[in-house]
Amino acid sequence: MARSKTVASSRPRGNDAAPSVSQKFLADHLGLSPATVSLVINRSPAAKSIPHRTQERIRKAARELNYRPNFMARSLRAQRSFTIGVVVPEISEGYAALVLSGIEDHLLDEGYFYFVVSHRHRSDLIAEYPHLLQQRAVEGLIAVDTACRKGVPIPVVAVSGHREVEGVTNIVLDHLFASRLALEHLVGLGHRKIAFIKGQQFSSDTEVRWEGVRGVAKDLEVKINERLVGQLEGESSSPELGYQVTRKLIATNEDFTALFAFNDVSAIGAIRALRETGRRVPEDISVVGFDDIQSAAFQNPSLTTVRQPLRQMGVIAAETLLRRINAPARAPYPKTITVAPELIVRESTAQAKH
């Protein structure tokens, strides 16, 4: 469809011009039984009993000899598609891209194809995509920062899913602990007047994280000045959104010595706005981001942030989904899997001026 972005992927095949070889030829070349080679090549659960060194020998030889598994034959034998659907808001630097990298790595290692569709927060596409992907015979769905609905007859894993929906496993961050890490760090540096940037209303994490912030602030006896609470608006993943919100916070003329942003991208925009108005980071204003995207360590100053293990969350989502797909019908499944954040202290925070 013209309005969707779809990516199909499989393991690289090497030199397409090279002649293909059979599985029997590969087994003879290695001096192994065809059954052993088949188990490894087809990612069978029984392959776990085969020594790791032998598995690596088989995979290395398969690459060198340009062996191509007959995916269609495998699907017909098993009466399965070995295909997964992944639904994301968008594909850009930051949250979704890092989660997707973990999903991709695990699915490719396990010999699965996958389709990726992005909905740009359009409610019609969010509702339509699960049905379109099922028509393409996907065996399960991974929803990234996307609301899941009832009635999907295949296993679903939601990354940053916070609603309890039948058939859905939620992979979530401990947002209360994340808020505590950030605020205790700032309070420990002497900051009491803290500005906040909330996420967009459509983000799955916005409200649960804000509730965490409010609860921790109360515990630490930090008063939240509502005039120093801004919210990201718009669907762009650009630092521009953080820049605009911070300009509005500055325009209130309320005094603050620290800022806790919803994500690293908005924190980067915030630093630009602070500098343009003559405020130095971290000498005048300390800034804490969230996510620990790849460029966070290379900003100037490097960004103090709450690391969300996004790639690991993608791996966990893929592992969980494949485990559910391969489990007996109606087997119990985890409703929620919680992962822990980590505070990464860099150069964008410093002792508060009194």
Q: What is the reported pLDDT for 216? A: 98
Residue 230: give the domain boundaries.
175-309
Mean pLDDT of 340-352: 98
Q: What is the reported pLDDT for 236? A: 78
Structural domain includes residue 256: yes
Task: Say whether pLDDT at 69 is over 80.
Answer: no
Task: Say whether pLDDT at 62 is over 70.
Answer: yes
- The answer on 253 and 228 residing in a single domain is yes
CA-to-CA dists, residue 261 to 148, 158, 316, 335, angstroms = 26, 24, 26, 29
Distance CA 19, CA 13 (A): 12
What pLDDT, in 10s, does the model give residues 219-259?
999 999 999 999 999 887 889 999 999 999 999 999 999 99
- The answer on 291 and 212 residing in a single domain is yes
Determine the 3-state secondary structure of 83 from DSSP.
strand
pLDDT-derived band at 111 (thresholds 50, 70, 90) equals confident
pLDDT-derived band at 7 (thresholds 50, 70, 90) equals very low
- The answer on 102 and 54 residing in a single domain is no
Asked whether the CA dihedral 129, 132, 136, 137 is positive or negative, the reply is: positive
**Of the candidates 330, 329, 309, which has an alpha carbon nearest to the alpha carbon of residue 159?**
309
Please give the share of the chain, as a percent, with pLDDT higher than 90: 64
**What CATH number does residue 327 fall under?**
3.40.50.2300
More confident residue, 44 or 66: 66
**Of the candidates 142, 81, 79, 145, which has an alpha carbon nearest to the alpha carbon of residue 116?**
142
At a CB cut-off of 8 Å and minimum separation 6, what does 331 contact? 324
- The answer on 297 and 241 residing in a single domain is yes
Task: Say whether pLDDT at 135 is over 70.
Answer: yes
Q: Which of 52, 76, 100 is the last residue of a domain?
A: 76
- The answer on 180 and 169 residing in a single domain is no
Distance CA 199, CA 180 (A): 18
CA-to-CA dists, residue 69 to 11, 37, 112, 266, 278, angstroms = 11, 11, 12, 45, 61
Q: What is the reported pLDDT for 132? A: 93
The number of folded domains in the chain is 3
- The answer on 207 and 301 residing in a single domain is yes
- The answer on 132 and 196 residing in a single domain is no
Distance CA 317, CA 121 (A): 21
- The answer on 300 and 246 residing in a single domain is yes
- The answer on 211 and 182 residing in a single domain is yes
**Of the candidates 176, 121, 117, which has an alpha carbon nearest to the alpha carbon of residue 341?**
176
**What CATH number does residue 38 fall under?**
1.10.260.40
pLDDT-derived band at 110 (thresholds 50, 70, 90) equals confident
Mean pLDDT of 46-63: 85
Q: Which of 39, 54, 76 is the last residue of a domain?
A: 76
Task: Say whether pLDDT at 77 is over 80.
Answer: no
Cβ proximity of 349 and 304 under 8 Å: yes
Q: What is the reported pLDDT for 90? A: 86
Residue 42's Cα: distance from chain center in Å?
27
What predicted TM-score, i.e. pTM, was given to this entire model?
A: 0.79
CA-to-CA dists, residue 202 to 139, 215, 232, 271, 291, angstroms = 27, 22, 10, 24, 18
- The answer on 318 and 303 residing in a single domain is no
Q: What are phi and psi of 190, to 5 degrees?
A: 95, 10
- The answer on 325 and 251 residing in a single domain is no
- The answer on 212 and 158 residing in a single domain is no
